[in-house]
Chain A
Amino acid sequence: MRDRLKEVLGGVLELPASEIPDDASADTLSGWDSLRHLELMLALELEYGVHIPTEDMLELRSLEAIEAFVAANGG
């Protein structure tokens, strides 16, 4: 699951998945800006078939948080 997430994140940020650390977050990964963040949320919805409400979009700012959300929402 984490590897697939990194693929999605890497696809949005135009980075190889292997260069994304497990503790990646919008605060630590350069390039993860507000525009990329929105694109990431949309890519996650498409990849996992989930719907991310607006408040959650604001909070899912780390790989860890995203993983937890996707797991909890049956993606």
Chain B
Amino acid sequence: MSLVPTGEETAARRRDGLELARADRGAAARVEVLSSFNVDLLPPFLVEAFERAGLPVVAHAGPFGRIGEVVLDPSSELYAAEPGAVVVVPAAEDLLAPFPSPELVDERLAELEGLVRTLLERLPATTCYLVVFGTDRSPFSQVLDPLASERGQAGIERYTTGVRSLSGLSPRLVLVDWDWAIRGAGWQAVRDERLWYLGRMRLSQVGCAALAELVARHAAAYHGRSRKVVAVDLDGVLWGGVVGEAGLAGIEVGEDGVGLAFQDLQRELLRLHDAGVLLVACSKNNPADAAEVLEKHAGMLLRPEHFAAERVNWQDKATNLRELAVELDLGLDSFVFLDDNPVERDWVRRACPEVLVPELPDDPVERPALLRDASWFARIATTAADRGRAAGYREQRGRRDLQSRAASFEEFLASLEQQVEILPVDDGSLSRAVQLCQRTNQFNLTTRRYTASDLERLLADPGHELLTLSVADRFGASGITGLAILRHEGERAVVDTLLMSCRVLGRRVEDAFLALLAARAAARGASTLVGLYEPTPKNAQVATFYPDRGFAPVEEGVFALDLRASTLLSPAEIEVKAGARA
């Protein structure tokens, strides 16, 4: 979807936003906007765009041109409102007037960094979205040399680069690069000179709708709302033509002509694969024909090893997608489905409304850009776990083969040569821990969707212990696939959170993890370990996790283990390493 909407779309979004703002939405978080120019037109668009991203909010624009005063004054309305998110919009043209000399730029950047730090410190549970807001207008463009000092372009670029470089300041700071994002449509499309002169607004209504859309896309990614799987049809999507009719030599994919468009689409899919999006095939085809193309065709970039799973058969595609969801242990709401046939798209939309089924342009040359610009899979940054995810699914296939050969379950476990590493959460693992909280559905005892700010708060509290679990075996390392949060309350210790990625389940790793938690609790003087189970539509498989391990029910969803009377044994087949991070 294009970032900049039409006038009609803009008007409709404003109406929807106002309607949402009028409705009573108790749980809605507050979004506060601090801008160097007037953004009074923005709030309804923010409400609408966040709502579409699955995040109900109310939005409010603070007094413009006073970012510093509002942030520095501890009694300002900003702090009283305790917003869930603050959007900061420091426009280059406002901050760098009258002329962006290097000295002024550096001074303003230092101020901005100080303000962001103060804001994050005083609002310890708030996410800050900092907008990189440059300009396409140099102060004196009659001088054409881009580096001429009187032109001012270098100063503006120094400023935008400087704002971007604040990105590492905190996991709660999200950079929203408006300056880069608006290049496609152009600044001309989002300005209205009349609004500047009458109201000191640097963005038209259309511009406000676009900025709101961009911020909401970042918020969705920050809150883990992005899709995780791309399911692709084969004939007509990965290559031109039907392999069953045209044969290996007759299909179109490679470096020449339109074949390059198909190859470029594969290039985009490969990038997604490398960033941790799972690629699966869902196609009506003869499996042997499809396999031949994937293995042998010289023009193909995608090979069998890039696919986490596949359904190449003559079943209907909705059934195939449901089976793929079960195989990958993911919900259908994680899927995007690409098919060139409008009938198939329509059928999947009806049968599996959770699956996102974009309109695929008929002309294959339009498709690579569609995939490149889409925000379906957007994430703030990729973690090591993202990059290794596809490999993990391949290793999983190897383990399944081994399990079918082993005589007994114990023998299988021993043959895996599993090593478990349990470490305290630190800066390096925080983003992965947040990701696990946001994503894990099935093996998740309490399903508490902690954000980065929540986990930072728990980390700062000595009463909480946050531990990650990594598993390695003879097929490879899974990276961080489990998280536990233990709350020490003197006599008792409570397992606030215990979750694990499905990839490592059924191998008794959970027993090793729980045994370690019990040992930690006992070491801190607790006599009772308390386990919680909070049911959701997806976590029934762990309903009896605690009673199965000797915990006694205390009340609905609360189980207790007497640490003096019983010991949880870690499985002998698993080597456990625990300790502090270096």
Say yes or no: A46-B7 contact (C-beta < 8 A), given A11-B15, A35-B41: yes
Q: Mark A23-46, 1 if CB is under 8 A from B, else 0.
A: 000000000001100110011001
- The smallest beta-carbon distance between A11 and chain B, in angstroms, is 7
List residues of chain A with CB within 8 A of the CB of B386.
none
Q: Mark B402-440, 1 if CB is under 8 A from A, else 0.
A: 000000000000000000000000000000000000000
- The smallest beta-carbon distance between B44 and chain A, in angstroms, is 10
A14 at interface by CB-CB < 8 Å: yes
A54 at interface by CB-CB < 8 Å: yes
List residues of chain B with CB within 8 A of the CB of A57.
194, 198
- B41 A54 Cβ-Cβ under 8 A: no
Nearest-CB residue, chain B, relative to A49: B7
List residues of chain A with CB within 8 A of the CB of B201.
38
- The smallest beta-carbon distance between B409 and chain A, in angstroms, is 65
- The smallest beta-carbon distance between B14 and chain A, in angstroms, is 8
Say yes or no: A14-B194 contact (C-beta < 8 A), given A39-B41, A42-B205, A46-B7: no
A71 at interface by CB-CB < 8 Å: no
- The smallest beta-carbon distance between A45 and chain B, in angstroms, is 8
List residues of chain A with CB within 8 A of the CB of B195.
38
B296 at interface by CB-CB < 8 Å: no
B103 at interface by CB-CB < 8 Å: no
Q: How big is the A interface, by class?
A: 10 to 19
A65 at interface by CB-CB < 8 Å: no
Which residues of chain B from 180 to 204 have any CB-CB distance to chain A below 8 Å in the complex?
A: 192-195, 197-199, 201, 204
- Across the interface, A35 reaches (CB within 8 A) one of B22, B193, B199, B204, namely B199
B11 at interface by CB-CB < 8 Å: yes
Cα A38 to Cα B201 with chains together (Å): 11
- B198 A43 Cβ-Cβ under 8 A: no
List residues of chain A with CB within 8 A of the CB of B194.
52-54, 57
List residues of chain B with CB within 8 A of the CB of A54.
193-194, 197-198
List residues of chain B with CB within 8 A of the CB of A43.
11
B555 at interface by CB-CB < 8 Å: no
Nearest-CB residue, chain B, relative to A41: B194
Say yes or no: A38-B199 contact (C-beta < 8 A), given A46-B8, A54-B194, A57-B194: yes
Nearest-CB residue, chain B, relative to A36: B40
List residues of chain A with CB within 8 A of the CB of B15.
11
- Across the interface, B11 reaches (CB within 8 A) one of A14, A38, A46, A52, namely A46
- B40 A35 Cβ-Cβ under 8 A: yes
Nearest-CB residue, chain B, relative to A56: B194
Closest 10 CB pairs of A and B: A54-B194, A35-B40, A46-B7, A42-B205, A38-B199, A46-B11, A54-B197, A57-B194, A57-B198, A38-B198
A-B pairs with beta carbons under 8 Å apart, 24 shown: A11-B15, A14-B22, A34-B199, A35-B40, A35-B41, A35-B199, A38-B41, A38-B195, A38-B199, A38-B201, A39-B41, A39-B205, A42-B192, A42-B205, A43-B11, A46-B7, A46-B8, A46-B11, A52-B194, A54-B194, A54-B197, A54-B198, A57-B194, A57-B198
> A35-B41, A38-B199, A54-B193 are known contacts; what are 20 more A-B pairs with Cβ within 8 Å?
A14-B18, A14-B22, A34-B199, A35-B40, A38-B41, A38-B195, A38-B198, A38-B201, A39-B41, A39-B205, A42-B204, A42-B205, A43-B11, A46-B7, A54-B194, A54-B197, A54-B198, A57-B194, A57-B198, A58-B198
A-to-B contact residues, CB < 8 Å: 11, 14, 34-35, 38-39, 42-43, 46, 52-54, 57-58
B-to-A contact residues, CB < 8 Å: 7-8, 11, 14-15, 18, 22, 40-41, 192-195, 197-199, 201, 204-205
